[in-house]
Structure 1
Amino acid sequence: MKNFKEKSDKIWEVANLLRGDYKRADYGKVILPMTVLRRLDCVLANNKQKVLDYLPKVDKLKDSAKDITLNKIAGFNFHNRSQFNFETLIKDPTNIAANLRNFINGFSTSAREIIEYFNFDDQIDRMDDPKADILFRVVKAFQEIDLTHMDSMEMGYVFEDLIRRFAEQSNETAGEHFTPREVIKLMVNMLFNEDTSMLTQEGIVKTLYDPACGTGGMLSVGEQYIKELNPKADLKVFGQEINPESYAICKSDMLIKGQDPSQIKFGNTFTVDGLEDETFDYMLSNPPFGVDWKKAQKIIKTEADNKGMKGRFGAGLPRINDGSLLFLQHMISKMKTKGTRIGIVFNGSPLFSGPAGSGESDIRRWIIENDWLETIVALPDQLFYNTGISTYIWIVTNHKSEARKGKVQLINATGTKDEALIAEGKLTENRFWKKMDKSLGNKRKKIVEDTKDKGIDLITQLYGNFEENEFCKILPNEYFGYWRITVEQPLKENGEVVLSKGKPKADTKLRDYENIPFLQEDTNKTLVPQSIQEYVKREVIPHVPEAWIDEKKTKIGYEINFTKYFYEFTPLRSLAEIKADILKLEETTLTQEKNILN
C-alpha cells in the first residue's frame, strides 16, 4: 500500500496552489473532484482513441444507445467522447476553462451526473478568474500525477486519506465519511465466515448493502473478499449516502469496477429510503456515532406511529441525540426471509443506554427475543479517525446456525488483558492491535493485519470456533433481560399504616426500584431462571418486611454490560509488599540526598 501514500501526498501538494485564493476548509472542493476526473481519465486512456474513431458511426443514434455502444468500446460502464484529456488540456492554457468543461461534458451520462454532485463548475469559474488565475496550474499538476495503475483498494485509501486531511483542516469529522480498512476487513471476515462453503459455488449471485456507504469502502472490501474467495461469484453492491462528495466518489468507484452506479442512492436514509422494498443477503455499515436525528424526527415518528412493526421503526425510537439503533432497525427491515447477515459498528451507547421501557431497551429486547443478535466484538479504543472511544462490532442475522440458536457470543478484542501481561513482562506484544507509527487524527492504534493467530485472524478464529475461553463468552439470550420492579412501602401516620380502599397507601418518599435479572447463578455457577417473587422474597422482604411490588409498573428491559462480563478482580497488594516498597523508596531518597550534599 506504499503506492497509495505516495499518490496521496502528491495530490495533497496540489492544495498548495490554492493557498491564498481558497480557505483551507475549501481545498476539498477542488482537489476531490479533480482527483475523480484524473482517475477516470487514466482509466479510459487505453481505449480513448478507439471511442473517438467510432463516434461518426453512432452519430445518428439516441443518447442512450450511443452510451451503450461507446461504453463497450471503452471497456467500462462509461466513456468520454470529448477530444480532450489531461494530456491535451495543458497544450492550450488560454482556453483551459472552456476545454475542461468540454472534457467534463464529454463523459457519458452516468459519469457526468457523478461530477455534478461536486458542483465543480463554480470552482472552474473561481480558479479561472484573473484574480486567481490558477486553473491551468491545477490541471497541469494533476496531469503529472499518473493514477493508471492504482487498483480500487488503493484509490479508496487515497480518497480516505485526502478526506481525512481536509476534515482536519476544517475541524469536521472525517470518520463520518469512512471506516479504517482493517476494521472493514474484520467485519467482512465475520460477515462471510459462516457462509464460506455456499459462497464458493460456481455462479453464485449475492447482494451487499450499506445504508451509510460514505466513499464505498465497505462495499469495495466486501466485493474484493468474494472475488478472492470465488472469482466466478457475483456480488452486487447497493448503498445510500447523504454527503454529496462521498456519494460522488463512491459512484465513480462503482463505475470503474463495473458495478451498476444507479444502485448507489443519494440522500438521508431515514427520510427517503432510496432502495425501498429491496432486501439483501448481506449488509455492512458504520453509521455516524451519536448522530442527531432531530431533522428527520417528524418523518421517522410518523412512520413508526402509522406503520408500526410493518415499517422500519416499530420496535422503538431511541433518544433524539443518538440515532445509531435507527440504522440497525432500518437494516433489519431489509433482511430476506430466507436469511440475511448484518455487520454494524457502534460505540458503547447502544449496548446499555436507556432504562427498561425506553426506546433503546425495547429495540434491544426486540432483536434479542427474536434471536437475531449473534455476536458482539469489543474493539480497542483509539481505532477510529475522529474519536478515541471504544467501539463494538455487532453481527445480526435471522439465519443462525443450530449451535448458535438462543445464544449470544461476546468477544473481548480490546487487548487490555494483553497490555496487563506486557506490563508484567509475561507477554512481549499485544495480540490484537499495534500502535501506529504516526497518529492519524484520533487513530493511534491499528488492528494487526495479515499475521496468523493475531489481530484480524485471531478475532475471526474466536468468532468461528464459537468456544468459551479468556476472550470469548457465550451466553443465553435470557441472560441480558431483566424486570424493572417498583418496590412500595406503606405510608404511616403516628405509627399507623394509612389505608386507601382497604389497602395500604404507598409512601412515595420510600418508593424504590430494583432490576431483577431473568437468570441467576445457582450454587454450581449454572445459570437458572428466577422469578420476581423468588427475588423479592430473598433480597427485599428480609430488609423491608412490609414492602410490596406494584406489578402494574413492572417493565422488561435488556442491556449488555460488556465490561462486567469480562471483569477480572485484581487482588490488592499485601501490607508487607506495600511496606517493602515504601522502605525501598525511602532508602533511595536518602541515598540521593547524600549524593547531593556531598
Structure 2
Amino acid sequence: MNILQYESKIWATADLLRGCGIKESEWPSFMMPFFALVMVESRLVRMMDDEKNEIGEEALSGIPKEDLYELIKDKGQGYNKYIFEKNLTLSDICKNDKSFYNDFDAYLKGFDGETKDLLGVDTGDGEKYLDIRGVITKLKAKDVLLGYTKLWSGIDLMPFNNSEITTLEEHIKRKWADISAETAGEQYTPDDVIALISEIIASKIEESDTLLKIYDCTCGGGNLLFGVEDRINEKFSRLTETYGQDWNDSLYALAKIESRFRPDSKIEHGNTLVDDKFYNEKFDVVIANPPYGVSWKGYQKDINNDKTGRFKFLPSISDGQLLFMQHLVSKLDLSGMGVVVHNGSTLFSGDAGSAESNIRKWLLDSDIVEAVIQLPTDEFFNTGIYTYLWVLNKNKQERHIDKVMLINASEKFKPLKKSKGSKRKEVDEANRLEIVETLTKYEDTDYAKVFDKEYFYFNKQAIMLTNVDEDGNSFESKLKKGKSSEKLTPIKLINGEGDLTEFTITTFDENKYGSLKDAFEQDIKPYIASLDYKEQPLVITTTKAKYWFDTDKETLMKEINGKKELLGCGKIVVKAGFKKVSKTQIERVEITVELTPDYQKDYEIIPYHKDETDNQTAIADFMGKYITRPFEYLENVVGVELNFNKIFYKPEKLRDVVDILGEIEALNEEIKGLEEGLEL
C-alpha cells in the first residue's frame, strides 16, 4: 500500500478550514499540530505491537502490564496513557460526541512530558512549539473542532514504517512551504536536490565500522537531514548519527518528534548563530539550506561578541548565509565534507576587501572548497532563481588540492509535467548520476571546468591619479616643495550669480537669523558649497592677480596686468568656517580660497598571480598599458569572486545578414500584396 495515497486525504482537511474562513496562508499552523498528533499516535501503536511481537505471545502473558508499560517508556520515543493503558485512540475518542471534549483533553494530557511540550498541549509562558492548544481554542470558537479532529482521526498511518511516514511527511511539509514561508528566504529543499546532495556525499565517503555523524545547522522539519541519512543508509551499512538545530518552533517540533523514532538522532531548538547546542561536537558530514537574504540585525550584538572564533568576517547584516557557511566549516572534523545550498549572492556579493569577499578568500585560502554546482532555475517551490551547491571537503584527493571545480548543471534537468508552485524542473536520476560522475572525474567538460583556486582571485589596485591639462601639466609643478596647496588672500570673488567681497563676516540679519551660527548653517555654508569652478565662471581677485579655471584647456589661469599664465590642471577650493569667540577675535565666519592639484582616486581590477613577483609585474604591465596620466600606487586589496556567467557564457549566434535581408524583402512583398488588395 502506497503511503502517498494519504497526501490528498490530509489536504482534504484544509477544505474544512477554508469553509470556516481560515486563510490559506494560515493552514500550515492548523495542520502541523494534528499531523504530528496522528504521526505520533501511529508510531506509538506500532511500537507497542512491535514490542509485543518481540516478547512473544506466551512470554507476554506472564509479564505484568505495568512492566510492559515501563519497557515502552524506557525506549524514550513517547508515551500516552490513553493509548497504552486504556487502549483508546483518537478515532475511538471521536466516536462519542457527548464526551469528546473531555476525552480529547484527557487524551492530550495523557502524553509524556516531552511530547506535550512539543505539541504545545499545556498553555503557559514557555515555548508552545506546535501550539495545538491554541489551534484547538480557535477551532472550538468556530464550532468545528470535533469535525476537524474526526477528519484527522481517519488517517491511519499505523501500517507504515518510519521511513514511509517520513516520505509522506516530506511531501506534506513541501506543500506547507509552498503556501507559507514564514520567514523571507526560507526554502524547502526538494526531494531531487536532497537526492543529488546524498549522491555527492555517498561519492565521498567509504564503508567503515566507524560512526558517520551528519549535521544540519538549519534543519527545519528535518527533511534534508533525514532524507540524506535515509539515502546513505540505503547505500552503506555504516551506522549513522544525525544532529540538527532550528529556531522555527513548529518545524523544530516536527523534526524532534521524528528524531525520537530514529536509532540515533539529536535535534535541538535555538538560533545556531548565537547558541550552538553542539558547540563541543565535530562532524563527518555537514549539510544545510540556510535562509537566503535574511537579516541578522536582531542578534547583531551577540554575533559581534561571539567568542567561539568561528566567524572570521561578518557579512552584510541584510544576509546571514555566509555566517552559516563559516559556522559549518567550524563544525567539520579533520577529514569532514559537506554540501551547502546557497543563492548566487554568496558567489559574488561584496567588492574586494568586503567581508563577503574576504570570507570567500578565506574559504579558498583554506582549500576547503572542492566544487560549486549551479542548479537549474525553477528548482525550488517558492523561488525561480538559480541556486548553488557548495561542495566542501577537508580531505581532498591529491590532484584536487588547491583546485576548485565549477559545474554548470543549469541544463541538467527534466521538466515537470505539472508545476509545484515555482518548481517547474527537477534534476532527475540520470542527470544526478552524470553530475556526480563529472565531480568524481574532476576533469573539464563542456559544462564543467577545473581551475587553480587563484583563478578566482583578483587585484583591486588603488591609485591616485594626477589630472593634467591639454599640455600634460599639473598645478602640482607650480607648488613649492613640501606644499600641497597655495592659499590666496582674495579681495573679491565673482561667480555667475554675483560677487562676494566679504571674506570675514561678523554681522547677520537679526530679523532672519537667531545668531551668526544660524546664518552660517542655513545660508552661508550651503552657498559656498554650491560654488563650482567648472560649471560657472568663478574668478578670484587678489591684490596682485586674478585666478580662474579654463574649462576648454582644463587648466588654472593666472592674470597679472593683462598677462595670462597657464598654471596646469588644478582645483579652486572655496571653504567657509565658523569661528567661535576667542580672547583676541570676535565670533566670525571666515571664507578661504586655495588652489590645489587635481588628484583623483581610482581603482583598477587586474588579474591575480599567486607568485608575488609575477603579481607585481602584472600590475605594473597593466598600468603601463592602460594608465596614461601620472599616478601613485595606493593600497592593493585581493578579492575573490566566482562568476558562472563569465566562465560559461555562450554568446547568441548572430544570423547571417543575407538571411535577414531576404526575410525583410519577403515581408515587403507581403505588405505590398496586402496594400494592393485593400485598393481593390
Query: Which TM-score bucket, shorter chain as reference?
Result: 0.7 to 0.9
**Preserved CA contact (<8 Å) 2:94 2:150:** yes
Change (3 A) 1:228 1:514: same
Change (3 A) 1:258 1:595: farther
**Preserved CA contact (<8 Å) 1:518 1:529:** no
Shift of 1:376: 0.3
**Preserved CA contact (<8 Å) 1:356 1:362:** yes
Letter in 2 for 1:538: D
Where do residues 158-169 of structure 1 align in structure 2 (5 Å cutoff)?
158-166=168-176, 169=179
Aligned counterpart, 1:468 = 444
Between stretches 159-168 and 274-283, larger displacement belongs to 159-168
Matched, 1:312 2:315: no
Shift of 1:511: 2.5
Change (3 A) 1:383 1:50: closer
Provide Cα deviations, 1:529-556, integer angstroms capped at 9, x if missing partner.
87454334433234444533434x2111
Change (3 A) 1:220 1:50: closer
TM-score normalised by structure 2 residue count: 0.74
Provide Cα deviations, 1:200-230, integer angstroms capped at 9, x if missing partner.
23x3311000000011111112211221112
TM-score normalised by structure 1 residue count: 0.83
Shift of 1:38: 0.9
Change (3 A) 1:399 1:549: farther
**Preserved CA contact (<8 Å) 1:285 1:345:** yes
Structure 2, unpaired ranges of 5+ = 53-59, 121-128, 486-595
Aligned counterpart, 1:20 = 20
Q: Distance in 2 between matches of 1:434 and 1:89?
A: 47
Change (3 A) 1:334 1:54: farther
Matched, 1:269 2:279: no
Matched, 1:573 2:577: no
Aligned counterpart, 2:379 = 383
**Preserved CA contact (<8 Å) 2:246 2:268:** yes
Greater helix proportion: 1
Aligned counterpart, 1:556 = 638
Between stretches 37-46 and 470-479, larger displacement belongs to 37-46
Shift of 1:268: 1.3
Aligned counterpart, 2:238 = 233
- Give % identity: 30
Structure 1, unpaired ranges of 5+ = 416-431, 521-527
**Preserved CA contact (<8 Å) 1:97 1:128:** no
**Preserved CA contact (<8 Å) 1:483 1:516:** yes
Which of 226, 231, 236 pairs up with 1:220? 226
Q: Distance in 2 between matches of 1:268 and 1:556?
A: 33
Where do residues 441-480 of structure 1 align in structure 2 (5 Å cutoff)?
441-449=421-429, 454-480=430-456
Where do residues 245-260 of structure 1 align in structure 2 (5 Å cutoff)?
245-260=250-265
Which of 118, 121, 128 pairs up with 2:140? 128
Provide Cα deviations, 1:262-311, integer angstroms capped at 9, x if missing partner.
x21111111211211211110110001111111111111111xxx4xx51
Secondary structure in structure 1 of the residue aligned to 2:240: strand
Q: Distance in 2 between matches of 1:189 and 1:273?
A: 28
Shift of 1:140: 1.4
Between stretches 92-101 and 542-551, larger displacement belongs to 542-551
Which of 341, 345, 365 pairs up with 1:345? 341
Secondary structure in structure 2 of the residue aligned to 1:550: strand
Letter in 2 for 1:343: V
Letter in 2 for 1:301: N
Letter in 2 for 1:443: K
Change (3 A) 1:579 1:321: same
Aligned counterpart, 1:329 = 326
Q: Distance in 1 between matches of 2:103 and 2:51?
A: 18
Letter in 1 for 2:405: Q
**Preserved CA contact (<8 Å) 2:181 2:187:** no
Greater gyration radius: 2
Provide Cα deviations, 1:48-91, integer angstroms capped at 9, x if missing partner.
479899999575x9xxxx9762246xx77333332231231122
Aligned counterpart, 1:436 = 416
Between stretches 285-294 and 493-502, larger displacement belongs to 493-502
Secondary structure in structure 1 of the residue aligned to 2:332: coil
Aligned counterpart, 2:362 = 366
Secondary structure in structure 2 of the residue aligned to 1:497: helix
Greater strand proportion: 2
Give the alignment's Cα RMSD to 1 decimal.
Answer: 3.2
Aligned counterpart, 2:549 = none
Provide Cα deviations, 1:143-197, integer angstroms capped at 9, x if missing partner.
22222344555544544544454555557569726211101111121123122xx
Aligned counterpart, 1:486 = 462
Which of 661, 666, 675 pairs up with 1:584? 666
Shift of 1:447: 1.3
Secondary structure in structure 2 of the residue aligned to 1:467: coil
Shift of 1:329: 0.3
**Preserved CA contact (<8 Å) 1:242 1:266:** yes
